[in-house]
Structure 1
Amino acid sequence: MGKIVLITGASSGIGKEFAEIYAKQQATVVLASRNEDKLVAFATQLHARYGAKVFVIPVDLSRADGPQLLFDEANRRGLTIDVLINNAGVGTYGFLHERPIAEELAMLQLNVHSLSHLMMLFTPGMVRRKSGQILNIGSTTSFYPCPLSANYSASKAFVLYLTEAAANELRGTGVTVTALCPGGTGTEFFRSAKMDRQKVADAKALMDPRKVAELGVKALNKRKVVFVPGLQNWLLTQAPRFLPRHWVTRTTRSVIEQKR
């Protein structure tokens, strides 16, 4: 069957681009998302375009039982995952004390708990086979706190730290872990998070999702632990190392606030 790649959040955005890249390489692609209709339509397109084998596993990873359901279904179908791309994630916007608690908890389940849970489920098999790759999607906000997206930026900091720690633990096992930390990208992210009126959401400043995915795959294959695509984004992630924390937080808020 060749290399088998599991992509979460595969029905839109960067996840779709990852699927295109691997299908073009004739890998077997496993698409996971809660939107079954979009997944099936996309899988049909990928197979017709590239002749690749494509499997669809509809699952809601904003639920606590989502990761186990995904893992069990992959095993039931005899799919031994060689590459896990933890792409599924959402953002939220607003003052933390005013945000709906249920929405914030669902976001943390998806961005933090499900991502870590999937790693814990799939990594042992990779270690036994002495081969595997894991790509976790972080953000430039993995490197600094974001007022008005407090839980979101904290969730992406978790992704960065988890990746760095796990990559160290897995040295010598044949399994690698990479955190891809893009800045603003031209996907549905800002609209779905109700952040499309942000200054940072200006279309002129957004990276192309295909380019982000291509750079992410290259970083994964080069065994990089952390990769920030784009020079401007990289500089943005380095600045907090040299500036006072209160200044970083104040500046971040000025960028993330809605246009007036």
Structure 2
Amino acid sequence: MTKTALVTGAASGLGYELSVLLAKDNYDLILVDIDETNLVKVKSALHDTYKCQITILVKDLSKPNVANDILNEIKSVSIDVLINNAGFGLFGTFSGTDWQRESDMLHLHILTTTHLTKLVLDGMLQKGSGKILNMSSLAAFQPGPLMSIYYASKAYMLSFSEAIANELIGTGITVTALCPGPTSTEFQSVVSENTVDNKIRFNMACPSKVALYGYNAMKKGKTVAIPGKFNKFLSVLPRFLTRNRATAIVRKIQDKNRNE
């Protein structure tokens, strides 16, 4: 019996790479993204290569109640894997950044992701199986000056994922939080209107490798997946520093990385 996976943010980056891995494993796909042009291209490429059934949904996941809209459109489909990948970053001081953009980020990273998880989880519980992969970040492990809301939203996603993973022990359902460091995707170019690329590139990861690491972790039911030894080190480093010191270090990195 063919299984079905739902992937948000599937038109590019890690969402696309994860969709490729699912297609290779013979999943039918429901791909969600706001970028209709790239979503159509992804559908065509994956269908031609892997012959899987693919449904695309062009949705703005930053809007209220969009999770309900998605489930209403696919209500006859049983979801075996949910990958909450969609997201974006915003650089700048909290006092100086655009509230509408920040509100969109909070809706996307927190409200829509949480709501979609809740809706899909109901069906998974009924059949006693399922896998959920939530895209968190290395940013989840400490505060992030100059990207304050992004860092905070990823900390929420990590905490939320760990909590429900514990609640679901013994149900046949696992939840994995993937926490990559900087990855060479389109994400970097949309963080700031004045920045087209990262200036610090020594720890920049390959998206296909990050996706494979997260995908394998999800299949194994691992709760927290941090790709790369250096990233694992960075994730625990704040435990050995004062919070003020860890925050100051992140500020220096952001200043170095983004400023012209």
TM-score range, shorter chain: over 0.9
Q: CA deviation at 1:259?
A: 4.2
User: Which of 70, 93, 96 pairs up with 2:94?
Assistant: 96
Q: How far off is 1:5 after superposition?
A: 0.6
For the residues of structure 2 that align with 1:72 and 1:95, how far apart are their CA atoms?
Answer: 38
Does the CA contact (< 8 Å) of 1:198 and 1:259 recur in 2?
Answer: no
The one of 213, 217, 220 equivalent to 2:211 is 213
Match of 2:133 in 1: 135
User: Residue in 1 aligned with 2:7?
Assistant: 7
Q: CA deviation at 1:196?
A: 4.0
Mapped partners of 2:214, 2:10: distance in 1 = 15
**CA 1:25/1:168 → structure 2, altered by over 3 Å: closer, same or farther?**
same
TM-superposed CA distance for 1:166, in Å, is 0.3
Aligned residues: 256
Per the alignment, residue 19 of structure 1 pairs with 19
User: For 1:187, which of 177, 185, 188 is the aligned residue?
Assistant: 185
Determine the C-alpha separation between the residues in 2 that align with 1:21 and 1:259.
Answer: 36
Give the aligned partner of residue 240 of structure 2.
242
Name the CA distance, whole Å, in 2 between partners of 1:156 and 1:70. Answer: 23
Given that 1:198 and 1:256 are in contact with CA atoms closer than 8 Å, whether structure 2 keeps it comes out as: no
What amino acid is the match of 2:139?
T
Identify which range, 188-197 or 212-221, moves more after superposition. 188-197
2:161 maps to 163
Task: Quote the Cα distance in structure 2 between the aligned partners of 1:217 and 1:109.
Answer: 25
* Cα deviation digits, residues 11-52 of structure 1 (max 9, x gap): 010000011111112110111011222212210111101111
Amino acid aligned to 1:246: N
Q: Which moved more, 1:128-137 or 1:20-29?
A: 20-29
Residue 197 of structure 1 and its aligned partner are, at CA, apart by 4.8
Aligned to 2:61: 61
Q: Answer with 14-23 or 187-196: which moved more.
A: 187-196
State the shift of 1:199 in Å: 3.8
Question: Secondary structure of 1:95's match?
Answer: coil
TM-score (norm 2): 0.95
RMSD: 1.2
Alignment-derived partner of residue 48 in structure 1? 48
32-41 or 220-229, larger mean C-alpha shift? 32-41
CA–CA separation in structure 1 for the residues paired with 2:112 and 2:134: 11
Unpaired runs of 5+ in structure 1? Answer: none
Query: TM-score normalized by structure 1?
Result: 0.95
| Residue identity opposite 2:171 in structure 1 | T
Q: Sequence identity of aligned pairs in percent?
A: 39
- 1:143/1:157 contact within 8 Å kept: yes
Change beyond 3 A, Cα 1:46–1:198 = closer
SS across alignment from 2:162: helix
- Cα 1:186–1:9, aligned 2, differ >3 Å: closer, same or farther? same
Structure 2: state its 5+ residue gaps: none
In structure 1, how many angstroms separate the alpha carbons of the residues matched to 2:3 and 2:51? 15
**Whole-Å separation in 2 of the counterparts to 1:40 and 1:191:** 22
Work out the CA distance in 1 between the residues paired with 2:116 and 2:250.
31
